[in-house]
A and B are shown apart, each in its own frame.
Chain A
Amino acid sequence: MSYFIQQLLNALQLGSIYALIALGYTMVYGVLGLINFAHGDIFMAGAFFGFFTAYLLKLPLIPTLILSMLLASALGIMIERIAYRPLRKAPRMSLIITALGISLFLENFTRATLGGQPRSFPKLLEIQDFTFLGASVTNLQVVIILVSIFLMLVLRYIVQNTMIGKAMRAVSDNKEVLALMGISLDTVIMVTFGLGSALAATAGILVGLAYPVIDPYMGITVGWKAFIAAVLGGIGLINGALVGGFILGFIEIFAAALLPSTYRDGIAFTILIIVLLLKPTGLLGRPVIKKV
């Protein structure tokens, strides 16, 4: 029993991290219809912002988190301004290729300036162990799980209940009419990228705390998996990111727990392919009706 609970907790931790990063993918997609492949690397940048803030300015956890979120937002907005905005009227494919280019640029720029060697992330949180139903839990795991649920709720609130959220939904609905209503498209998109990147930075710092070895390539695998989580839950849907993230975490952990661990990724992704074959718009997604 305690074995099962331990694996459940492992799955919750992993799932929360996927969910947190998936939220950023889903937001940008929801508003712009763009898969922002650079998101995984903004997550990496966020972890490095946290690393330098904590080491150079010697700030504790909360200020480090806030400063890193601000820096990552600035980076996200800058990327949008420089790389995506000039292509807003270009074919979708150009944007996707640009996003991949930005992703490679961020990885290699970080590697070229900071070096490729892994670094140890500062211990900003005193880790405390306690036992829960025979399983070992840390305060960090609880923080990670709560933060991801909390941020999802905040995001939902912003999108559903504020003016800027309304504007975001309007952008995703119809860009042309939006301008007629006197809303600045640029502002809405800027806010979207800012929020998405701040979420990625939060994930970067939480991952840095949970797995304290960071390197310029840390965003690749996690980024792809979070993207898959977003698609699994239904890309563009905030609840979908959370559902997708947790399901992917559970599948990965339990595939390794119940079967030889060599099959971990193989089984996880087979299940995902089956789900997407049955529900191409994701678990929470509604079928898309294309108007002709």
Chain B
Amino acid sequence: MKKLLGILLITALVATGCASGSSAGGSSAAPAEIKIGLSGPMTGDISDIGQSSKNAAEMAVEEVNAAGGLKIGDKKIPVKLVVGDDENKPESAANVFQKLINQDKVLGIIGPPTSKCANAGAPIAESAGTVMVSSWATNVNVTKDKKFVFRACFIDPFQGLVNANFAADTLKAKKAAVLYDVASDYNKGLAEVFRDEFKKKGGEIVAFESYSTGDKDFASQLTKIKAANPEVLFLPNYYNEVALQLQQAKRLGITAKVLGGDAWDSPKIFDLAGKDLLEGTYFSNHYAADADNADLQKFITKYKEKYKLVPDATGALTYDAIRILFQGIEKAGSTDKKAIRDAVAATTDFKGITGTISYKGSGDPVKSAVMIQITEGKYKYAATVNP
């Protein structure tokens, strides 16, 4: 048995040795496979987000490979996805990026979905000259002053603006309160833009309270918010914390309308918070599953069949992100990373399932957002907000 294993191992080694030997003949020669990296929180506090990125990316890779792979020159080359677990920790994301770029020699990286990890990975991708397309990282700094860093989603100021406009124009609120995680870039970015934009609209921010990641008790801050008597409470936080915040807000008798950001978007939020607490709340999102878009509906049906789950926004955005990269590689027509970067940067009117994406001189796409209302445990499309 041992002998047999040994022989197998040697054969495998020789085979891979040959494969890498043939690809080492200069950048113009096509490699045996195209490696694409994926960084996401496969484990840790928001592992659902990582799983859905992985699911969607695997689905996109399977679709491409079913058609023979990506077309480079006149040859079709299959794609291989290399998944790294960033545990939603910046230091792990940095390790994942180093490994994907230096060991696995990937042509491009998808993710990380969260802003704090994307901020840790982006400088590494930039200095290595490897294209990174984040699916879900909405923090401004991720792409700032970088040539190789792109994303498939809109940015925080836009979500803060969407919520502020929605609160002021649609809900006709005059007084708003905010409770956010000060230790996380994403939450802080949304909260600050909401505050500034809501004030610009003539509204008043009656309470602007914060906590740190991992806190479970928000009673002190919420009691303060209740005393300020707001009409709208903005909770730009991740779904696991939102569940506790809604529960404690209700216990303390806060009746304000609750708004949130796209970090609410996980089917888990219903398990954790329960339908009743979520009834009538709103959040801004990248797409609405009940939107009228044939490609999107096709994606949702296929995803449901394959994974028995409704895809969340991270899944949909990962699917767009990886296909933007695929399109870039095919347009570049080579495995030269600089050429791929130029092709991705030139993306115009890419028909994504989360909207039409164009890059105009920066890594941030020009696209619209939607507001979703939760009613009877379901997402319902409420409004579209254009840039």
Contact = CB atoms under 8 A, between A and B. Distances in A.
Contact of A136 (B48, B221, B252): B252
Interface string A1-38: 00100110011011000000000000000000000000
Contacts of A97: none
Contacts of B223: 3, 6-7, 10, 257
A10 B222 CA distance: 10
B44 A116 contact: yes
B210 interface: yes
B45 A129 contact: no
A169 B241 CA distance: 42
Nearest to A137: B251
Interface stretch (A51-59, A87-95, A206-214): A206-214
A63 interface: no
A80 interface: no
Interface string A123-149: 000010100000010100000000000
B98 interface: no
Contact of A257 (B182, B215, B224): B224
A254 B215 CA distance: 16
Contacts of B45: 116-118, 215, 217
Interface string B171-196: 00000000000100000000000000
Contact of B221 (A11, A217, A256): A256
A11 B221 CA distance: 12
B247 A261 contact: no
**A interface, over-half SS:** helix
A220 interface: yes
B217 A10 contact: yes
B216 A211 contact: yes
B244 A213 contact: yes
Pick from A10, A13, A14, A252 the residue with the most CB of B within 10 Å. Answer: A10
Interface in A239-273: 252-254, 256-257, 260-262, 264-265
Contacts of B231: none
A136 B47 contact: no
Given A207-B216, A217-B45, A221-B215, A212 B247 contact: yes
Contacts of B217: 10, 13-14, 211
Interface in A141-164: none
Of the four ranges (under 10, 10 to 19, 20 to 34, 35 or more), the interface on chain B belongs to 20 to 34
Contacts of B220: 7, 10-11, 252-254, 256-257, 261, 264
A111 B43 contact: yes
A116 B243 CA distance: 17
Nearest to B88: A116
B253 interface: yes
Interface in B265-319: 268, 271-272, 274
Contacts of A115: 43, 47
B251 to A, nearest CB: 6
A187 interface: no
B219 to A, nearest CB: 4
A261 B216 contact: no
B210 A261 contact: yes
A113 to B, nearest CB: 12
Contacts of B211: 261, 264
Contacts of B240: 118, 213, 215
A120 interface: yes
Contact of B224 (A13, A218, A222, A256): A256
B212 interface: yes
Interface in B209-261: 209-212, 214-217, 219-221, 223-224, 226-227, 240-241, 243-244, 247, 251-253
Nearest to B272: A120
A109 to B, nearest CB: 13
Contacts of A129: 251
A271 B210 CA distance: 20
B47 A262 contact: no
Interface string A194-227: 0000000000000100011101011011100000
Nearest to B217: A14
A204 to B, nearest CB: 12
B221 A220 contact: no
A254 B221 CA distance: 10
A44 B268 CA distance: 20
B216 A6 contact: no
A261 B221 contact: yes
Interface of B: 43-48, 182, 209-212, 214-217, 219-221, 223-224, 226-227, 240-241, 243-244, 247, 251-253, 268, 271-272, 274
Interface of A: 3, 6-7, 10-11, 13-14, 111, 115-120, 127, 129, 136, 138, 207, 211-213, 215, 217-218, 220-222, 252-254, 256-257, 260-262, 264-265
Return the 4 tightest CB-CB contacts between A and B, nearest first: A10-B219, A256-B220, A211-B216, A116-B43
19 contacts: A10-B217, A10-B220, A13-B217, A14-B219, A115-B47, A117-B268, A119-B271, A119-B272, A120-B271, A129-B251, A212-B244, A217-B45, A220-B214, A261-B209, A261-B210, A261-B221, A264-B211, A264-B220, A265-B212
